[in-house]
């Protein structure tokens, strides 16, 4: 899952990439972020913690941000899949609840917040973050809404992107400001935005 080589190259000879080292780096980065915050997340610390040489990290990842992106994508796909089959208002609400839990309770949620943050500081991070995470995920979410709309399950009052921003935005914002997501917020938004007003 190196950032630089979507399809891992197949050298005719020579050693293959050490999968143990790859996982050690990913977990070390994850753990350090969770334990000591992004400030302590230096490449040298990751290398130390992973029991890996610094050079091994630089060989495979252009920056620590790409390491975090790798872990985020793996964890995100695993713990927070976008519901694709028969999406109902209910399953969408479930997805948002899952997102809420992912951000507040899962260590991997911290990774997402850290990447949103780092994207503000560094244009390269922003670019890569969009290309590898935000873009693909938004695409899946758009599809989810499209299917739900086609099936008549939901009738969004505004465009799909606007709807997603309106639903996701408050959750992310609360997580970023460290405040708990007010109960009822998600339910109310789902109800208001996905169902046509009856009047």
From the list DNA, a second copy, none, pick the one residue 12 interacts with, judged by a Cβ distance below 5 to 8 Å according to partner type: DNA
Cβ nearer to DNA, comparing 76 with 125:
125
Residue ranges binding a second copy (CB under 8 A): 37-39, 113-114, 116-123, 126, 130, 134, 157-159, 161-162, 165-166, 168-174, 176-179, 181-182, 184-185, 188-189, 192-193, 197-199
Cβ nearer to DNA, comparing 37 with 169:
37
**Binding-residue pattern over the window 13 to 42 for DNA, x denoting contact by CB under 7 A:** xxxxxx--xx-----------------x-x
| Residues ≥6 apart with Cβ < 8 Å to 89 | 148, 153, 154, 190, 194, 195
Residue 51 touching DNA (CB under 7 A): yes
From the list a second copy, DNA, none, pick the one residue 21 interacts with, judged by a Cβ distance below 5 to 8 Å according to partner type: DNA
Q: Angle at Cα 68 formed by Cα 66 and Cα 71, nearest 5°? A: 110
Cβ nearer to a second copy, comparing 86 with 127:
127
CB of 193 to a second copy, least distance (A): 7
CB of 124 to DNA, least distance (A): 10
CB of 10 to a second copy, least distance (A): 19
Rule CB under 7 A: which residues touch DNA? 9, 11-18, 21-22, 40, 42-45, 51-56, 58-60, 63-64
């Amino acid at each position: 899952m190196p950032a630089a080589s979507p399809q891992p190259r197949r050298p005719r000879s020579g050693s293959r990439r050490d999968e143990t080292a790859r996982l050690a780096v990913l977990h070390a980065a994850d753990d350090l972020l969770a334990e000591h915050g992004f400030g302590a997340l230096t490449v040298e610390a990751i290398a130390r913690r992973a029991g890996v040489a610094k050079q091994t990290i630089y060989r495979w990842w252009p920056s620590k941000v790409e390491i975090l992106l790798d872990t985020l994508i793996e964890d995100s796909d695993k713990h927070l899949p976008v519901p694709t089959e028969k999406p109902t208002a209910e399953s969408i609400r479930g997805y948002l609840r899952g997102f809420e839990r992912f951000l507040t309770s899962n260590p991997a949620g911290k990774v997402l917040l850290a990447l949103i943050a780092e994207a503000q500081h560094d244009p390269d991070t922003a670019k890569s973050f969009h290309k590898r995470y935000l873009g693909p995920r938004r695409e899946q979410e758009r599809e989810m809404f499209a299917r739900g709309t086609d099936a008549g399950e939901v009738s969004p009052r505004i465009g799909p992107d606007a709807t997603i921003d309106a639903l996701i935005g408050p959750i992310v914002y609360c997580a970023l400001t460290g405040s708990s997501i007010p109960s009822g917020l998600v339910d109310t938004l789902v109800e208001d935005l996905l169902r046509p007003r009856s009047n």
